[in-house]
A and B are shown apart, each in its own frame.
Chain A
Amino acid sequence: MNKILSIKQLTVEYDSTTIISNLSFELTKGDFLCVVGPNGSGKSTLLKTILGLVKPKSGTINVAAKTLGYMPQENKISDIVPASVTEIVETGTLNQNLSRAEQKKRIAASLKTLGISKLRQKTFSELSGGQRQKALLARAITASNELLILDEPSNNLDHRSKLSFYATLSRLNESGYTIIMVTHDLDHDNLVGNMILSLDPSNRFFGATAEYVERIHHDH
Chain B
Amino acid sequence: MITSIIEMLQYDFIQRAIITGIAIAISAALLGTTIIPRRQSMLGDGLSHVAFGASAIAISLSFSPLYTALPCAIAASIIITKFANHKNTNSESLIAITSASALAIGTLIISISGSNIDLNAYLFGSILAVSQIDLIASLIVALVAVTCFIIFRKKIFAITIDNNFAKSIKINTDFYDLVISILCASIVVIGMKALGALLISSLLIFPVSTAIQFTKNFRQTCIASTVISCICLTIGFTLSYTYSTPSGACIVLVNLAAFILANVYRKI
Contacts and interface: CB of A to CB of B under 8 A. Distances in A.
Contacts of B164: 48, 51, 53, 70, 72, 76
State the majority secondary structure of interface residues on B. Answer: helix
Given A80-B36, A81-B37, A143-B169, A91 B216 contact: no
Interface in A56-98: 67-68, 70, 72, 76-84, 86-88, 90-92, 94-96
A139 interface: yes
A81 B216 contact: no
A67 B36 CA distance: 30
A81 B165 contact: no
A53 B155 CA distance: 18
Interface in B16-45: 33, 36-39
Most A Cβ at <10 Å: residue of B36, B165, B171? B165
A139 to B, nearest CB: 7
Interface stretch (B181-189, B191-199, B218-226): B218-226
A76 B171 CA distance: 18
B168 interface: yes
Nearest to A81: B37
A78 B38 contact: yes
Contacts of B219: 87
Contact of B217 (A51, A77, A84, A95): A84
Contacts of B88: 15
A123 B168 CA distance: 24
A53 B162 contact: no
Contacts of A139: 165
B169 A121 contact: no
B158 interface: yes
Contacts of A53: 164, 167-168
A76 B220 CA distance: 23
A117 B6 CA distance: 51
> Chain A contact residues (Cβ within 8 angstroms of B): what range?
20 to 34
B50 interface: no
Nearest to A142: B169
Interface string A92-113: 1011100000000000000000
Contacts of B220: 82
Given A72-B165, A87-B217, A87-B218, A95 B171 contact: yes
Contact of B158 (A81, A84, A94): A94
Contacts of A95: 169-171
Contacts of A67: 169
A200 B103 CA distance: 51
Contacts of B161: 77-79, 81, 83, 88, 91
Interface string A4-28: 0000000000010000000000000
Interface string B213-250: 00111111100000000000000000000000000000
Contact of B160 (A68, A81, A86): A81
Contacts of B167: 51-53
Given A72-B164, A88-B161, A82 B169 contact: no
A68 B216 contact: no
Nearest to B162: A77
Which 7 pairs from chain A and chain B are nearest by CB? Answer: A84-B217, A91-B158, A70-B168, A78-B37, A80-B37, A51-B168, A81-B37
Interface of A: 15, 48, 51-53, 67-68, 70, 72, 76-84, 86-88, 90-92, 94-96, 121, 123, 139, 143, 149
19 contacts: A15-B88, A52-B167, A72-B164, A77-B162, A78-B162, A79-B161, A81-B208, A82-B215, A82-B221, A84-B217, A86-B217, A87-B157, A87-B217, A87-B219, A91-B158, A94-B171, A95-B169, A123-B216, A143-B168
Given A84-B218, A86-B217, A91-B154, 6 more contacts: A52-B168, A82-B212, A82-B221, A83-B157, A87-B217, A123-B216
